[in-house]
Structure 1
Amino acid sequence: MAGDNTSLGDLAGRYAAALLDLADERKALDEVAGDLQQLRSLIAESADLRRLLTSPIYSRAQQSKAVAAILDKAGLGELTRRFVLVVASNSRLFALSAMIEGYLTELARRRGEITAEVTSARNLSDGQQAALLNALRSTVGDKVQLDLTVDPALIGGLIVKVGSRMVDSSLRSKLQRLQLAMKGVG
C-alpha cells in the first residue's frame, strides 16, 4: 500500500497543514504559533521530554497522560493542547518536533516572511539583535524573523543562515581556516 511507505516529512507535513487550517478557521494562527514556539523550547530544553516523545518504551496511554500534564503546566491554548493530544493518541509524538517546524515554516511562507537562523557564541543583547535585524532587512527585505541559538563553541562571531545562503564569521571557523593555511605552508 502507498500509505505504508510514508516518510516523516510527509507525516509531519500533513499534521502541520491540518493544524494550520484549523487555526486559520478559528482566527488563532498567531496564538497557535506562540504555543508551538513555547512547546519547541520545552522540547529543546528537556532531554526527558525528548525521550518521552521518541521512546517506544512508553505506552500510548502513558505518553498521553504525561503530555497532558506538561501541556496543562505550560498553559498552552485549547487548540494546541487538543492537537498535541490527538498526535499522542495516534502514537505520532515522535514526529511532534517536525510538525511544529512544519507549521511555523508554512505560516511564515504564507506571510512572505523569511527566517534567518543566527548562531552566536553568547546571547545577543537587544541592541545587537536590532542591529542585525536592520542589516538583514536591508539585504533580504522587510519581513525577516530571527531564530537565535547560542553555541559557545563558536568562541566569538556569528553564523547567519538565510535560505540557502550562509555567512560564517565565527572565530572558530576563522581559526580553522588559519590552521589549514599554516599546514600548507610547511
Structure 2
Amino acid sequence: MPVADTSQLTSGVAERYASSLFELALEHGAVDSVTADLDRFQAMLDESAELKRFVASPVFSAEDQLKAIVAISERAGISGFFANFLKVVARNRRLFALPGMIRAFRLIAANHRGEISAEVISAHALSQAQETELKAALKSVTGKDVTISVTVDPSILGGLIVKVGSRQIDTSLRTKLSTLKLALKEVG
C-alpha cells in the first residue's frame, strides 16, 4: 500500500496557522516582535537536533509537548503572541508543521512589506558581505527587495541553491558533478 503524500496537508496547515498569526500580529502592531521571536525559535531549531526531533515526533502527548514548549519559550525569552501561538500549536498537536508555519509566516510578512523572500541553501555559512551581494543580485533580477533565508547544507559541496517563488537556481557543485557523471555515462 503506497504511503500518502502528506506534504500538501502539512503545507495547508502551516499556511493557515501562519496566516492567522500574521493577521493577529498585524492587527496589534506586533509583526516585528513576532518575527524576532520566530527568528529566535528558528535559530534554536537549526542548532538543536533534539528540538527538531521533538517538534517532528508524534510520540509525545499534547500535554508533554505543551509543557516542553512553554519551558523552551520561557528559556529563550519568547513571549507574547508567538509564545501563545506555540502553545496553541502544541495543544492542537501541530508541532510537526511548525517549520512550515515559520516559512509561511516569513513569506506573508515579506509580501506585506513588498519584498520577495528567497530560500538559499549553501554548503557553508555566508558572510554578511556575501549575503548583501546576493540580495543585490536578486534585487536586480526581481526588481524588488529580497529577504533571504539561508540554510547550510554541506552535502551540496559548494555553490548555492536559490529558490525565489516557483523558480529555483541550482549552482551547487553536487548538481554539476551529477550532470557531469550522467554526461560521461552517455558518452561511455
Class of the TM-score when normalised by the shorter of the 2 chains = 0.7 to 0.9
Which of the residues 169, 172, 175 maps onto 1:173? Answer: 175
Cα deviation for residue 81 of structure 1 reads 0.8
Cα deviation for residue 84 of structure 1 reads 1.0
* Equivalent runs, 1:24-173 vs 2, <5 Å: 24-173=26-175
What's 1:184 paired with? Answer: 186
Cα deviation for residue 129 of structure 1 reads 1.7
Matching residue's letter, 2:170: D
User: CA, structure 1 residues 170+13, in 2 after alignment: closer, same or farther (shift >3 Å)?
Assistant: closer
Q: Is the 8 A contact 2:114 2:144 kept in 1?
A: no
Aligned counterparts of 2:57 and 2:176: Cα–Cα separation in 1? 39
Aligned counterparts of 1:59 and 1:164: Cα–Cα separation in 2? 36
User: CA, structure 1 residues 72+140, in 2 after alignment: closer, same or farther (shift >3 Å)?
Assistant: same
Matching residue's letter, 2:48: S
The percentage of counterpart residues that share the same residue type is 47
Cα deviation for residue 111 of structure 1 reads 2.2
User: CA, structure 1 residues 126+73, in 2 after alignment: closer, same or farther (shift >3 Å)?
Assistant: same
User: CA, structure 1 residues 158+57, in 2 after alignment: closer, same or farther (shift >3 Å)?
Assistant: closer
User: CA, structure 1 residues 125+8, in 2 after alignment: closer, same or farther (shift >3 Å)?
Assistant: closer
User: CA, structure 1 residues 85+124, in 2 after alignment: closer, same or farther (shift >3 Å)?
Assistant: same
Matching residue's letter, 1:170: S
**CA RMSD, 1 decimal:** 2.0
User: CA, structure 1 residues 47+18, in 2 after alignment: closer, same or farther (shift >3 Å)?
Assistant: same
Cα deviation for residue 114 of structure 1 reads 0.9
Aligned counterparts of 1:76 and 1:129: Cα–Cα separation in 2? 27
Cα deviation for residue 66 of structure 1 reads 1.0
> Which whole-Å deviations, capped at 9, do the CAs of 1:17-39 have from their partners, x for residues lacking one?
22112111210111101211221
Q: Is the 8 A contact 1:115 1:162 kept in 2?
A: yes
Residue range with higher mean Cα deviation, 22-31 or 34-43 = 34-43
Structure 1: any 5+ residue segments left out of the alignment? 1-5
Larger radius of gyration: 1
In the alignment, does 2:19 pair up with 1:7?
no
Aligned counterparts of 1:172 and 1:9: Cα–Cα separation in 2? 27
Aligned counterparts of 2:168 and 2:12: Cα–Cα separation in 1? 27
SS in 1 for 2:93: coil
